[in-house]
A and B are shown apart, each in its own frame.
Chain A
Amino acid sequence: MTAPARSNGVPSPAKPRERALKSVPAKSRSRSAAADRAYARRAQRTKPSTRGPAVTRRPVVTPRAPFVVMVMVVLAVGIAAIMWLSTQATADSYRLQDAQAEQTRLARQVEQLRQEVALSESPLKLAEAAAKLGLVPAGDPARLKQLPDGSVEVYGKPSEAKAPEPPPSETPTPSPNPPAQPDPNAQNGQADPNAQQPPARDGQPDPNAQQPGQNGQQAAGGQ
């Protein structure tokens, strides 16, 4: 702001001085030598700066309107830009809020799933699920050792895994299950059930001890 004021101010002292000179009687215009020198110095001083205004002095009067228009346009554009930006910022903050809400929701979902996984991984739940399938904890297995000459030595005697006492009423329920389960397996042929079922089938006849001992020995030998 100071720069325009200065450039404006420079020609302005000239104008009032001219007016003042006119109003002062002519004889008082005769100056002392010192005053002359002062004026000369002043002229010297103002000369460089008058060069600019001297060039622009003429057009100053006419082309003011474009400048004003330009300033107005700049202001208008500026205000519009500020308004637009602040609207955007607000809109963004709403979007941020939404995104945060979504993040919270997903985080909760993750926690929920994490909890479910942890719960179903727990040995307690696994044991429960195994018992539901009719599995019982295995007894002492026999251990096989292959000797260098290729023969196999058996250590220990495999013991039958006995179903716990309580489920005499439940024993009928697991036994219909095995015949029922292999059927959907054979038809579906899904990877997962297949992977899970065979051990269950091997295991079940063994603990229940309802079928001939071939399976049981194999299973025990395998362990």
Chain B
Amino acid sequence: MAGPSRGRPARRPLSVRAPAKRRRGGNARVRMAVGRLLLVGALVMAGLKLVQVQGFQAEALSAQAEKQRATFIDIPAARGSITDRNGNQLAFSIEASALYAVPQMTREKWDKAYQAKPEIGTYEEWAGKVAKFIQDTLGTEVDGQKTDERTVYAMLTKDTTYIELVENIDPGKAAAITGKYDDIGSEYRAVRVYPNGGLASHIVGAANWRKDQDPPATHGLLGLENAKDNLLAGRNGRRVVDTMQGNNVVIPGPNRSRELAAATPGRSLELTLDVDTQYAVQRMVTDYTAKSGAKTGSAVVLDVRTGEILAMANDKTFDPLTFGKATEEQTRNTAVSSSFEPGSVNKIITAATAVEDGIAKPDDVLSVPYTIKFADRTIRDAVEHPTQDMTFTGVFAKSSNVGTLMTAQKIGEDRYADMLRNFGLGKRTQSGVPGEEAGSVPPRNQWSGSTFGNLPIGQGLSMTLLQMTGMYQTIANDGVRVPPRIIRAEVDANGARKETPKPEQIRVVSPQTAKTVRDMFRAVVQKSPGDPDQTGTGPSAALPGYQISGKTGTAQQIDKNCGCYSQSEYWITFAGIFPADNPRFVVGLMLDAPTGSPQYSHSAAPLFHDIASYLSQRYQVPLSAEQSPVVPLVL
């Protein structure tokens, strides 16, 4: 504004001045004009360029600049841990480092530097020093990886572009090494730690660091680690840092490192297991299976009220750290992934239905012959006997097949089929334990004449040990079936718990029926010295001071050679409620084809006794107010 107003009057005199000055002034005017033209031209060009650079190429150029200095870095998300119900760790991750080198590139660089400055020594000398330092820092071996001087030296002098020297080392030590020798690089690793080793490994599973994944991270391969991988893994964050051109040195200063997305840590799982109970049950099952000579043995302990799985053990375990070496047999969670014919344990359905429908009372007397005919088949009792009078309680305490089938006939096929379903058979329990099987119950419309002669005595249908234990949980929990479950809560990184929704409860029989059946089944562990007729089939399960209610089971396995029921291989089962008068725990046991000494191989009752004895101490279960009465079984 000031310019023109100042300039115009100043110029005006020029135009009116004497023409004498005009020649010199003309030259000046030309110069002015040319100069002005040039300047304006330059300004216009600069302006145009500015518009071009700022407007049209802005994005491309800034992207290029970004590329030159920005390096993207993944922020690894911490994997959630798996804990038991009391917060004891079953699996968790810790940070570790892997050391790597780029021998070819380093050698090239080193040789160039060596020519210019021979006193730094040859590449080999440098490699020797590095190898020595690594050995000094890490020792000669880390987790079975050799880190002695010679091995490291050999790796460093190998003619290769990239080599991993050692993984899963302490990040502090890795930092010391990379700090001293910056041609050695270190990478993030996470190590999964299983403090309890093989304990509950069938349930927890195993996870390891997976380089082949993008981005590399810990992922599960077995068990819950695999089934709940998405939940446990979390999501990686992303950070961008400004680095010097040509290397990865971060330029110091504010705003040089920007977090684009924060890492979302994985959620932790809190299981219903109790590690101490699991340990004790595991030890007892392993011992007993070995003593009985069974192929496999499993045990399940449920909390009666909540259906929570307190312990689930199989005789074979594997170490999650070396799961690659474990056989299929070892990684299999027999308690849920093998189904078997339960044998007499299944008789509880007949007992419960008969009591519920008012068909029989515990002290009713039945006249039980040795055999009974179903269609083309004749079913016998286990021990030959003349036709004898038994109480209804005695039928189950002595595990009479014929007595049970007589009662079942009164119940009727349709009602019985309904009850099988109500007790949760033929369907997965949705417990959350990975690898669960459904078992099999023949559909009602495919029943043949002899089917109904098999099912009530626990043959011709199959179930998992968890399902079998669930049936007894129903009776223990006053007739309400609570499907078992393994995951108690999900806990996020801030410690906020999300309880697993309570499973839908199913009323199967009335509380009175459940109590009557519990009381009846106490007679199974009844022992009447000197009178075998009044002694149940599982007296060794009894625990003095407590009322125990349970049922032994022996089911014939199918002989693959003849396609018939084998006479030598059995499934030995036991399911029990402890204590019967105020149920707290249900224990299910299964031994597959025991062949050892009869003391152990004929019944799993002693194992139940051991587990119940442990539970009474672990959970300080008060003694029963009254002892189980001795009731007449065979009249």
Stretch at the interface among B3-11, B264-272, B383-391, B474-482: B3-11
Complex partner residue of B92 from A2, A118, A156, CB under 8 angstroms = A118
In contact, A12 and B6 (Cβ under 8 angstroms): yes
In contact, B1 and A23 (Cβ under 8 angstroms): no
CA distance A174 to B616 in the complex (A): 30
Q: Report if A123-B545 is in contact (Cβ < 8 Å); known contacts: A23-B13, A90-B252, A118-B92.
A: no
CB neighbors of A among B601-619 (8 A): 613, 616-617
Q: Which residues of B contact A112 (CB under 8 A)?
A: 94, 170
CB neighbors of A among B139-171 (8 A): 170-171
Complex partner residue of B623 from A104, A140, A145, CB under 8 angstroms = A145
> B544 near A: Cβ within 8 Å?
yes
In contact, A93 and B252 (Cβ under 8 angstroms): yes
> A172 near B: Cβ within 8 Å?
no
> B199 near A: Cβ within 8 Å?
yes
CB neighbors of A among B9-36 (8 A): 9-10, 12-13, 16
In contact, A118 and B13 (Cβ under 8 angstroms): no
In contact, A20 and B279 (Cβ under 8 angstroms): no
Would you give the shortest CB distance from A223 to chain B, in whole angstroms?
A: 7
In contact, A89 and B279 (Cβ under 8 angstroms): no
CB neighbors of B among A110-132 (8 A): 111-112, 114-115, 118-119, 121-125, 127
Stretch at the interface among A3-11, A68-76, A180-188, A190-198: A3-11
Q: Which residues of A contact B544 (CB under 8 A)?
A: 142-143, 155-156
Complex partner residue of B94 from A23, A92, A115, CB under 8 angstroms = A115
Q: Which residues of A contact B172 (CB under 8 A)?
A: 105, 108
In contact, B2 and A8 (Cβ under 8 angstroms): yes
Stretch at the interface among B190-198, B205-213, B421-429, B528-536: B190-198
Would you give the shortest CB distance from B115 to chain A, in whole angstroms?
A: 35
> B236 near A: Cβ within 8 Å?
no
Per-residue A-contact encoding for B268-302, CB less than 8 Å = 1, 0 else: 00000001101100010000000000000000000
CB neighbors of B among A77-114 (8 A): 89-90, 92-94, 97, 104-105, 108, 111-112, 114
Interface size on B, residues (CB 8 A): 38
In contact, A124 and B252 (Cβ under 8 angstroms): no
In contact, A90 and B253 (Cβ under 8 angstroms): yes
Would you give the shortest CB distance from B33 to chain A, in whole angstroms?
A: 23
* Most-contacted residue by chain B among A9, A108, A137, A140 (CB, 10 A): A108
In contact, B195 and A121 (Cβ under 8 angstroms): yes
Would you give the shortest CB distance from A1 to chain B, in whole angstroms?
A: 11
Q: Which residues of B contact A140 (CB under 8 A)?
A: 613
In contact, A93 and B253 (Cβ under 8 angstroms): yes
In contact, B171 and A108 (Cβ under 8 angstroms): yes
In contact, B2 and A12 (Cβ under 8 angstroms): yes
Would you give the shortest CB distance from B241 to chain A, in whole angstroms?
A: 12
CA distance A90 to B252 in the complex (A): 7
Complex partner residue of A155 from B9, B13, B252, B623, CB under 8 angstroms = B623
Per-residue B-contact encoding for A133-165, CB less than 8 Å = 1, 0 else: 000010011110100000000011000000000
Q: Which residues of B contact A156 (CB under 8 A)?
A: 543-545
In contact, B1 and A6 (Cβ under 8 angstroms): yes
Q: Which residues of A contact B16 (CB under 8 A)?
A: 23
CB neighbors of B among A1-37 (8 A): 2, 5-6, 8-9, 12-13, 16-17, 19-20, 23
Q: Report if A9-B2 is in contact (Cβ < 8 Å); known contacts: A123-B196, A156-B545.
A: yes
Q: Which residues of A contact B1 (CB under 8 A)?
A: 2, 5-6, 9
Residue of A with least CB distance to B625: A145
In contact, B2 and A16 (Cβ under 8 angstroms): no
CA distance A169 to B195 in the complex (A): 30
CA distance A202 to B256 in the complex (A): 65
Residue of A with least CB distance to B89: A118
In contact, B2 and A123 (Cβ under 8 angstroms): no
In contact, A111 and B279 (Cβ under 8 angstroms): no
> B108 near A: Cβ within 8 Å?
no
Q: Which residues of B contact A8 (CB under 8 A)?
A: 2
Q: Report if A118-B613 is in contact (Cβ < 8 Å); known contacts: A5-B2, A145-B623.
A: no
> B95 near A: Cβ within 8 Å?
yes
* Most-contacted residue by chain B among A94, A115, A123, A127 (CB, 10 A): A123
CA distance A140 to B612 in the complex (A): 11
CA distance A137 to B279 in the complex (A): 12
Q: Could you give 21 example pairs across A and B, Cβ below 8 Å?
A: A9-B5, A12-B2, A12-B6, A13-B9, A16-B9, A23-B13, A89-B254, A97-B252, A104-B171, A105-B172, A111-B94, A111-B95, A115-B92, A118-B193, A121-B88, A121-B89, A122-B197, A123-B275, A140-B613, A143-B544, A156-B545
Give residues in A with beta carbon < 8 Å to B. Answer: 2, 5-6, 8-9, 12-13, 16-17, 19-20, 23, 89-90, 92-94, 97, 104-105, 108, 111-112, 114-115, 118-119, 121-125, 127, 137, 140-143, 145, 155-156, 223
Further pairs besides A13-B9, A20-B9: 12, Cβ < 8 Å: A9-B6, A89-B253, A94-B252, A112-B94, A118-B92, A121-B195, A122-B88, A122-B197, A124-B196, A124-B199, A141-B613, A156-B544
Nearest 5 A/B pairs, CB to CB: A155-B545, A123-B279, A156-B544, A16-B9, A155-B544
